[in-house]
Structure 1
Amino acid sequence: MSDTALSPVLPVTSDALPAILELNNEHARELSWLEPERLAHLVSEAFWTARVGEADAFLLTFDQDADYDSPNFLWFRDRYPRFVYVDRIVVAKHARGRGLARKLYEQVFARAQAAGHSVVGCEVNFNPPNPESDAFHAAMGFEEAGLADVYGGERTVRYLIRRLQA
């Protein structure tokens, strides 16, 4: 049995927030820095959020009804009447190569489809580049849907979508 098969996907509960916050902020360059109150708010607005282990990996998603002001989320809201947006997904350095991100995404696809969504969207940094994320998302069936400068031109992102079967 693989290591991945032994790693259950768990909900993000309040007791897990400190470890999730630490993992997020270790990757703030790719994800953006969060304060504890902001993370708690985001989790409360989430379509679905999950973790593997204490914080080997975590994922935070929103649907079109979320109270969220991210310019990336709003890009999707302006274009898709119903969607699930993957706001952040991260795997701790010590847990990479175990298929955890794939496992989390597969569950997002299943949950989004069960809820009647036909699109899962996300963004990947184009500048600064993130070639590992580009390759991963291509392998997961995402396609480019747009490009934008965000945060005052500090970053350029590629918006990606994965279409789900009806």
Structure 2
Amino acid sequence: MGVEPGDRTVRLRPPADGSERELVLGLNADHVELLSPMDEDRLAMLESTGRVEVVDVDGEVAGFVVTMPAGTGYDSRLYRWFGERYDDFLYLDRVVIAPGFRRTGVAGAVYDLIEARAGRHGLFALEVNSEPPNEASLAFHRRRGFAQVGEVVDGPKRIAMLTRDAAWPEAVVRMWDEDRASRALGMRLDAVAPGRAVVTMPVREDMVNGHEIGHGGLTFAVADSAFACACNSHGPVTVAAGASIRFRSPVRLGEMLEASATERSREAGRGVYDVVVRADDRVVAVFEGYASELRREER
């Protein structure tokens, strides 16, 4: 799922190659006084435990983020503080925005993307230095609805522990729980926000056609499932009124497809949605869906 501050698209994705991994390490080193040290081994550990992703702004790396779900063996003292108090949460371990992209709306777009994922867990957790105070960060998080739920003392430093509720829309959760077709195809709902959704699907052996490439109907299916979640995210029961797809690149056995749906317009119970389907960072299909809310007597 991409978010558009101005006329730019912001995405989170894994580092594409060694040079991007080096860029992540360099950005971390530049801000190590606010973070914690990270070398290649530590980066690999974080990748195996949670998610390490670069901030992609129209194909240019603008920073990186590390997130961690509850219940892992991550050795961070602050992560464990949340784990001792909450059953489930998504923890933002660190976020760095490169200097040239600050104060441009990129940081807000990154938080939108992470919060859309945090709905799986119901809670978004992180910390900010309160002594010495990081006033800009504290103000930013207050504006986004975070509240202080505790404090950790680390020598002369005090660290504010912050959370905010991040539940997915009930209508989408209910619909997805009853979606036997998507589950049978191995799909996973990864992110939901008003008018947006991300669904992933692994390309299995039984999804490959006679040309040894992914069956186009199943690429359509994962795009359609993301479309369904996005158009139902506002609450009313909404169904497809039409859809089309254009294939851009063959899909291969073993790839993970990611379908990212974005609302283009919505008015008077009808909406238009764009879905981009990627395998790694390659666009394999683009989908356009038309949605219509059902009247109560039609349900």
TM-score clears 0.5: yes
Q: In structure 2, list runs of 5 or more residues that go unmatched.
A: 169-299
Q: Is the 8 A contact 1:9 1:50 kept in 2?
A: no
Q: What is aligned with 2:198?
A: none
Q: Please list the CA deviations of residues 57-104 of structure 1 after superposition, one character each: whole Å capped at 9, or x if unmatched.
A: 221111112221111000000000000110001111111011112111
Identity among equivalent pairs (%): 34
Rg (Cα) greater in structure = 2
Q: Please list the CA deviations of residues 17-37 of structure 1 after superposition, one character each: whole Å capped at 9, or x if unmatched.
A: 111111111111111221121
Tell me whether 1:73 sits opposite 2:76 in the alignment.
no
Counterpart amino acid of residue 163 in structure 2: I
Q: In structure 1, list runs of 5 or more residues that go unmatched.
A: none
Tell me whether 1:132 sits opposite 2:133 in the alignment.
no
**Secondary structure, counterpart of 1:9 in structure 2:** strand
Structure (1/2) with the larger strand percentage: 2
Q: What is aligned with 2:27?
A: 23
**Secondary structure, counterpart of 1:133 in structure 2:** helix
- Alpha-carbon RMSD across the aligned residues, in angstroms, is 1.8
Q: Please list the CA deviations of residues 84-128 of structure 1 after superposition, one character each: whole Å capped at 9, or x if unmatched.
A: 110001111111011112111111111121x2x111000001122
- 139-148 or 100-109: which moved more? 100-109
- 90-99 or 77-86: which moved more? 90-99
Q: Tell me which of 55, 58, 63 is aligned to 1:57.
A: 63
Q: Is the 8 A contact 2:5 2:109 kept in 1?
A: no
The structure showing larger relative contact order (alpha-carbon pairs under 8 Å, at least 6 residues apart) is 1
Q: What TM-score do you get using the length of structure 1 for normalisation?
A: 0.87
Q: Is the 8 A contact 1:142 1:161 kept in 2?
A: yes
Q: Distance in 1 between matches of 2:157 and 2:103?
A: 27
Q: Is the 8 A contact 2:10 2:109 kept in 1?
A: no
Q: 1:143 to 1:12 in 2, by over 3 A?
A: same
Q: Distance in 1 between matches of 2:92 and 2:40?
A: 20
Q: What TM-score do you get using the length of structure 2 for normalisation?
A: 0.50
Equivalenced residue count is 160
Structure (1/2) with the larger helix percentage: 1
Q: 1:52 to 1:7 in 2, by over 3 A?
A: farther
Q: What is aligned with 1:106?
A: 112
